[in-house]
Structure 1
Amino acid sequence: MQVSVETTSPIERRITIQVPAAEIDEAVNARLKDTAKNVRLNGFRQGHVPMAVVRQRYGQDARDEVVSEVMRERYVRAITEEGLNPAGFPKIEPSINESGQDLEFVAVMEIYPQIELASIEGTDIERPVVAVSDADVEEMIDTLRKQNAAWEEVDAAAADGDQVTIDFQGYIDDEPFEGGSAEGHSLVIGSNSFIPGFEEQLIGAKAGDEKSLQVTFPDDYQAEHLAGKEATFNVKVHKVSRQTLPEVDAEFIERFGVEDGDQEKFRAEIKKNMTREAAQAIDNRVKQQVLDALKEVNEIPVPSALVQQETDGMKRQAAQQFGLGEDFDVSQLPNELFEEQAKGRVQVGLLLAEVIKANELDADDDAIRAKVAELAEQYQDPDEVVSYYMGNEELKTQVKSAILEEKAVAKLLEQTNIKDIEMSYQQALAAAQQQAEQDEGAEEGEQASA
């Protein structure tokens, strides 16, 4: 076997492989002899069909099978001998495939990039410092009360925060438009779930009132045929309802897992959960800054096969998130929606793998168990969660990957200048959300410019 490797890009290789004709012919003959043992043809007993007849009828099929098998086997041998690390499957095509001639075929493949990590030394990282206050806890309790509030009909004018039950019909240039009507719709004033200006004009309305509302659709409205258009909505108000907040009593507290309804335990549990949530927000914000810096100084070629794998995974996640069903064909979702973000994820994954390798980072079963125990604290039976994870190799692998990523980020963080910034609980969560939106927007912008 003769092998030549051509570098066509930093991550693409074109391998030309030649196999002597005698090897192919010998393998084809052996295949035909095996075939002849089971051939049934009129006028011949099984196993006694002349080889000339067998070759004429089955020769091409036998050669196709042999060539296909030889190409796969020799490709694997060639990349092993050449020390190539493929990323995904190759494209293999024969270039010379004639009886009596040496077989020649070409395999085009992508390999994992060779990475020489550039340091993020000197990068400025902002790290929020958050202390959950008693006022934060009380605000969270108020939020929980609102989430569990009941709506009671009132004989009063609608105010901000009230719920109105309405019928409405929208018109543009005196013509009804599709999607512009509903009956018995419940709308919370101030929820900003309707077109700007719609909800505000319902303040002061009472049950039985009929109102004509003038609004303008935003220029960036999702339905392009309505964007920027002026519209009139005829609205009939059926009822006005107001929230009745539950008392923070034992019955209310028991809903959140504090079985004895103790007030102090309830507040302590809320503070514990908020502290954990704040810590996660801080870690995520710091991690994102580190990863952004790592990507910025390490522009590396990314194998398209890995990007496609990540894209397919993101499609499946999206289908699951939007409840499209297990039978939904995710190939219907366009790659363009996911590719840029998938490329960024693959780039980060390759760089972190290099950080892990360079620093010989690892996580044993004790570390995995400790991490699972930490994650399990928020569940009712933590020990059961730990046992389940530790008995499942796939889940253990996922946790190990998360630990190694944390260790890699911590190692990178040693190269940076960390500036602590005091924030409230709400500010920390808002900053983390803003960071996530900025990263998503940046990826969308990169995709649009591409």
Structure 2
Amino acid sequence: MQVTETVKEGLKRGYRITVTADELDAKVNEKLTEAQPDVEMKGFRKGKVPLALLRKQFGERLLGESMQEAVDGAMSKHFEETGDRPAMQPEVKMTNEAWKKGDDVEVELNYEKLPEIPELDAKSIEIEKLKVVPDDSAVDEALTSLAENAQNFETKDGAAEEGDQVVIDFKGSIDGEEFQGGSAEDYPLVLGSNSFIPGFEEQLTGVSAGDEKDVTVSFPEDYQASHLAGKDAVFATKVKEVKAPQKAEIDDALAKNYGAEDLEGLKGQIRERLVAEYDQAARQIMKRRLLDILDEKVSFELPPALVEAEASQIAHQLWHEENPDVQGHDHEKIEPTDEHKKLAERRVRLGLLLAEMGRQNEIQVTDAEMTQAVMNQARQYPGQERQFFEFVQQNAQMRQQIQAPLFEDKVVDFIFEQANVTETEVTKDELQKAIEALEEEDDAA
């Protein structure tokens, strides 16, 4: 087997791999000899079928397998010896398309290799971490919000308005036939909550206790119960009670509703939650500043194909954001601008740098972390969690999309641990302004 270099330009590499006919023949014989003891064929005892007959019977299929294994083996050996790591899937093409049995096999291998990435001493990085300590006004504001969410409903006279709760009995039917799951008694429905089929709650605005009303609605075309999707239904509805919302008192009773022993305990929980929220926002700012620092500190040659692919993806994504009515991808080709290419270079550079730092420091996403991330995303599809899990398990690209940001954050946290971090206490408003400044920078980019 021969491997001859054909291209060496920047990060581009090209090789011609030649597998001789004799090497292929020897590999086929090796496979036949290995399988011979287990082969049974009419007229022969097990393990006694002549190799010539086995070759006639299985030779063509084994020849194809041998060709693939020989080429794969040559590529693996090449990457092991050179230390090259392809930036993208290598291009492999058989050059002698008129190949016939007895000919050598010639294959072209082309790829862009990952560049040599300079080492970065994370301890040399100086970065600021913003810190917000929740004050009493922030806690009081959160308490007020909790009280509004924990509102009670009390019976009232008169017509129901948006925000009121109506207690109803209802029976749903399609073409005069009641359907399973379409009825309930003493159901508390808050008008304006959008918890029912579109159009249902609006038709109950203005009803009073004792009213009976037929509510006519159409199930959405994408309704999760396929046997109801797109169909018109009538709900015979009886209004038993109308209740108005009453704001809950901020006291120990409210605290117990939220799992705290008393009001002071609830305030403590709120402070902890606010600290976590402020820290998350501060980390977002800190991460952005770190990426800016890394982008300035480190420079190396970038694989052109990676940059082109990233620029095309950026341009395509931004085009769809500007044209939200276009759902599919059967539109004209989107040509990346210089700004798209500049942003792509930054993303590729930082992505390669973080990936290399993660590799050197043996940073990995654990199975438990991956499972938790999948569970978090599955919650976005209530009732279809299992299908989402199965989809992720069967889709390598989806797993990579979930794993990539987890890996990036672990590498970023590793750098934070090594870096010289200065903590600066700021107000909630100052933190908010810093977040808004980041968003403005992203919009400008």
Task: Determine whether 1:29 maps to 2:29.
Answer: yes
- The separation in 1 between residues aligned to 2:437 and 2:190, in whole angstroms, is 30
- The separation in 1 between residues aligned to 2:418 and 2:304, in whole angstroms, is 23
Among candidates 424, 430, 433, match of residue 428 of structure 2: 424
The Cα shift of 1:42 comes to: 5.3
Contact 1:302/1:347 (8 A) holds in 2? no
The Cα shift of 1:407 comes to: 3.8
- The separation in 1 between residues aligned to 2:128 and 2:244, in whole angstroms, is 43
In structure 2, give the amino acid aligned to 1:254.
K
- The separation in 2 between residues aligned to 1:149 and 1:303, in whole angstroms, is 57
Among candidates 131, 134, 146, match of residue 133 of structure 2: 131
The Cα shift of 1:80 comes to: 1.0
What is the aligned-residue RMSD (CA, Å)? Answer: 5.6
TM-score (ref. length: structure 1): 0.52
Q: Assess, with a 3 A threshold, how the Cα gap between structure 1 residues 400 and 109 changes in structure 2: closer, same or farther.
A: closer
The Cα shift of 1:82 comes to: 1.6
Q: Assess, with a 3 A threshold, how the Cα gap between structure 1 residues 294 and 7 changes in structure 2: closer, same or farther.
A: farther
Q: Assess, with a 3 A threshold, how the Cα gap between structure 1 residues 77 and 145 changes in structure 2: closer, same or farther.
A: same
Q: How many residues align?
A: 317
* Unaligned residue ranges in structure 2 (runs of 5+): 167-187, 209-238, 314-327, 332-339, 364-404
Contact 1:132/1:275 (8 A) holds in 2? yes
- The separation in 2 between residues aligned to 1:269 and 1:33, in whole angstroms, is 72
The Cα shift of 1:283 comes to: 1.6
User: Which residue of structure 2 lines up, in the alignment, with residue 326 of structure 1?
Assistant: none
- The separation in 2 between residues aligned to 1:287 and 1:15, in whole angstroms, is 41
- The separation in 2 between residues aligned to 1:76 and 1:243, in whole angstroms, is 70
Among candidates 112, 115, 120, match of residue 114 of structure 2: 112
In structure 2, give the amino acid aligned to 1:28.
V
TM-score (ref. length: structure 2): 0.52
The share of aligned pairs that are identical, in percent, is: 26
User: Which residue of structure 2 lines up, in the alignment, with residue 58 of structure 1?
Assistant: 58
Q: Assess, with a 3 A threshold, how the Cα gap between structure 1 residues 275 and 421 changes in structure 2: closer, same or farther.
A: closer
Q: Assess, with a 3 A threshold, how the Cα gap between structure 1 residues 156 and 136 changes in structure 2: closer, same or farther.
A: farther
- The separation in 1 between residues aligned to 2:93 and 2:276, in whole angstroms, is 55
Contact 2:165/2:245 (8 A) holds in 1? no
- The separation in 1 between residues aligned to 2:425 and 2:84, in whole angstroms, is 47
User: Which residue of structure 2 lines up, in the alignment, with residue 251 of structure 1?
Assistant: 253
The Cα shift of 1:133 comes to: 1.3
Partner SS state of residue 95, structure 2: strand
In structure 2, give the amino acid aligned to 1:58.
F
The Cα shift of 1:18 comes to: 2.0
User: Which residue of structure 2 lines up, in the alignment, with residue 406 of structure 1?
Assistant: 413
In structure 2, give the amino acid aligned to 1:150.
N
Contact 2:302/2:345 (8 A) holds in 1? no
Task: Determine whether 1:80 maps to 2:80.
Answer: yes
Residue deviations 1:210-256 (CA, integer Å, cap 9, x gap):
xxxxxxxxxxxxxxxxxxxxxxxxxxxx8975432223333332344
Residue deviations 1:77-105 (CA, integer Å, cap 9, x gap):
11111221235654544434544443322
* Unaligned residue ranges in structure 1 (runs of 5+): 166-183, 200-204, 209-237, 312-332, 364-397, 444-450
Listed as ranges, the matches of 1:193-232 within 5 Å are 207=207
User: Which residue of structure 2 lines up, in the alignment, with residue 316 of structure 1?
Assistant: none
Task: Determine whether 1:2 maps to 2:6.
Answer: no
User: Which residue of structure 2 lines up, in the alignment, with residue 325 of structure 1?
Assistant: none
User: Which residue of structure 1 lines up, in the alignment, with residue 216 of structure 2?
Assistant: none
The Cα shift of 1:130 comes to: 2.8
In structure 2, give the amino acid aligned to 1:264.
E
- The separation in 1 between residues aligned to 2:305 and 2:164, in whole angstroms, is 53
In structure 1, give the amino acid aligned to 2:270.
I
Q: Assess, with a 3 A threshold, how the Cα gap between structure 1 residues 400 and 118 changes in structure 2: closer, same or farther.
A: closer
The Cα shift of 1:411 comes to: 6.4
- The separation in 1 between residues aligned to 2:23 and 2:305, in whole angstroms, is 34
Contact 2:5/2:15 (8 A) holds in 1? yes
User: Which residue of structure 1 lines up, in the alignment, with residue 352 of structure 2?
Assistant: 350
- The separation in 2 between residues aligned to 1:118 and 1:51, in whole angstroms, is 59
Partner SS state of residue 85, structure 1: coil
Q: Assess, with a 3 A threshold, how the Cα gap between structure 1 residues 280 and 142 changes in structure 2: closer, same or farther.
A: same
